[in-house]
Structure 1
Amino acid sequence: MTKNVALYLISDAVGETTQKLVSVVTAQFPTIEFSPTYRFPFINDKEELTEILKDALSDKAIVLTTLVNPELVETVTSFCQRTGLQSFDLMTPFTEMIHAQTGVAPLNEPGVVHQLNKEYFSRIAAIEFAVKYDDGKDPRGFLEADLVLLGVSRTSKTPLSMYLANKHLKVANLPLIPEVPLPEQLKEVPANKIIGLTCDPDNLEKIRTNRLQSLGLDQLSKYTNSDRIREELQYAQDIFDTLGVTVIDVTHKSIEESAFLVLEALDKKEHLA
């Protein structure tokens, strides 16, 4: 027989933290149906909170809270002590531990993590920039970019651009193709704002072959031809040498590792400038 457990998720903000914990924990009990599950976000009134707790008691529910307002926390604590309602406070014990160890009091402000501050808008703007100027869609973006990534196809230009955008960098990228002339705008970009990406030819051949397989396309094309790949890589290296830019080998590197090297290179260039 399937057992039911009612859950009440109460927060004075969005309540995402509670929802994530519930998803992780309830997955450990596949034979239990967690129903009904009620979410109560943006609770900031004691009377409203008390009514919710009364309903939870009537449903014999488990209450999970992410409340930072001390008065609301005390309301839940006292109610549960009086009535025996089961509750779990996800915030207070942790903040009290930090307070006890550091002497620094918490802000006790709901939704601080989601406040739309300058840093948030900066990151969103960088992500939008990376999307707009991905793959050389509009070379004019090179002149506005904090960084321009150059490389032949499948050298991680796009994922690197998006990863670095999350670090608040406005990144544009351009695929290097021997038959396609370089945009004039690239010549106006300072060398310290350009990074070249390269890769071992054998590894690049495997990456491209896997890419075509995933798309169900013919693999017997010059895109995966070893001689063609070496030609492309040499063409790219000639451009890097002409522009005098730093080159990073992304062979067998994760996006995080490549991004670290890019940021390190930019930092060195900034100090030399």
Structure 2
Amino acid sequence: MSSGAVRPATYFHVHLVSDSTGETLNSMAKAVIARFDGVIPIEHIYALVRSERQLERVLEEIAAAPGVVLHTLVDRDLRTALEEGCRQLDMPQIGALDPLVGALSRYLGTAISSRVGAQHALDHDYFNRIGALDFAIAHDDGQGHGELGQADVILVGVSRTSKTPTCIYLANRGVRAGNIPLVPGHDPSERLAALNGPLVVGLLVSPDRLIQIRRNRLTGLGAGDDSDYVDLDAVRDETIRARRLFERHGWPTIDVTRRSVEETAAAVINLLNDRRGRAMGTPT
């Protein structure tokens, strides 16, 4: 193979065995595999594996497609059976949460719970996330004027700065988030000044990147791109006015030009934590 040749992708089977929904295991596997270039997994997901018969079928499928086995089984007998089955198949198996759970158990001096699917119990946190999601939907794009004061955070920015998806992501972390768009000719300052509780965060973006996103949006809608919505001078003026508004009110800002929604949400959560730390008089 020449030095300039493209290395062919490496395919491999990865078996994800969980006694719950498998969401945690799937997310962990994707995060780890993303660290390897040119590697494409063929995923086999086995969720809600809670009986010997289910595990037997899983082992049959593993034997038919040799690869790597990742699991988050809690039941000791099922876990032992899976480990023994993989040993007989000469196949690597990894308890994905073992290092973290073991370290925490040693640090806390507390025994590990054997309750299956404990992280998905319908507890207070679960209902809090559902409530936050309802709030984000009801207060998207400036809606729900009378209840915005109940938000943890309000995102403010020009059109196409990922306000809505960021609010939805925050809701899944239990954060009540609303958003208000900055529309030319409309100043939301008075409306926001009347709200004492929420943290207001301004979202910044470079004009070039914003035009690119907006053009893609218009293309998807089958619309033309000859309006001020994608005009360079108009967009520059729009972003400058947004920046000046944020500076005038002293609102913290996040530049979303090259950030993913997850990264923007993480930055918002950090701002919220800093604010709560100051309110409690603790160092941040």
TM range (shorter): 0.5 to 0.7
Residue 208 of structure 1: aligned partner: 214
1:143, distance to aligned residue in structure 2 (A) = 0.8
Q: Distance in 1 between matches of 2:99 and 2:276?
A: 42
Residue 134 of structure 1: aligned partner: 140
1:204, distance to aligned residue in structure 2 (A) = 1.4
Please tell me the residue identity of whatever aligns with 1:262.
V
User: Compared with structure 1, are the counterparts of its residues 177 and 125 closer, same or farther at alpha carbon in structure 2 (3 Å cutoff)?
Assistant: same
Residue 268 of structure 2: aligned partner: 262
- Say whether 1:167 aligns with 2:186: no
Taking only aligned residues, the RMSD between alpha carbons, in angstroms, comes to 4.7
Q: Are 1:142 and 1:185, in contact at CA under 8 Å, matched by a contact in 2?
A: no
The count of residues paired between Structure 1 and Structure 2 equals: 250
1:238, distance to aligned residue in structure 2 (A) = 3.8
TM-score, length basis structure 2: 0.64
Which of 100, 106, 112 is residue 106 of structure 1 equivalent to? Answer: 112
1:12, distance to aligned residue in structure 2 (A) = 6.1
- Say whether 1:177 aligns with 2:183: yes
Q: Deviations over 1:30-61 (max 9, x none)?
A: xxxx9xxx988554xxxxx5x7799999x999
Q: Distance in 1 between matches of 2:229 and 2:114?
A: 57
SS in 1 for 2:229: helix
Please tell me the residue identity of whatever aligns with 2:230.
T
Instruction: Write out aligned runs for 1:114-133 (5 A).
Output: 114-133=120-139
Please tell me the residue identity of whatever aligns with 1:236.
A
TM-score, length basis structure 1: 0.66
Please tell me the residue identity of whatever aligns with 2:263.
E
Q: Distance in 2 between matches of 1:100 and 1:148?
A: 37
Unaligned regions of 5+ residues in structure 2, if any?
Answer: 1-15, 28-32, 34-40, 280-284
Highest Rg: 1 or 2? 1
- Say whether 1:235 aligns with 2:241: yes
User: Compared with structure 1, are the counterparts of its residues 210 and 270 closer, same or farther at alpha carbon in structure 2 (3 Å cutoff)?
Assistant: same
1:185, distance to aligned residue in structure 2 (A) = 4.0
SS in 1 for 2:160: coil
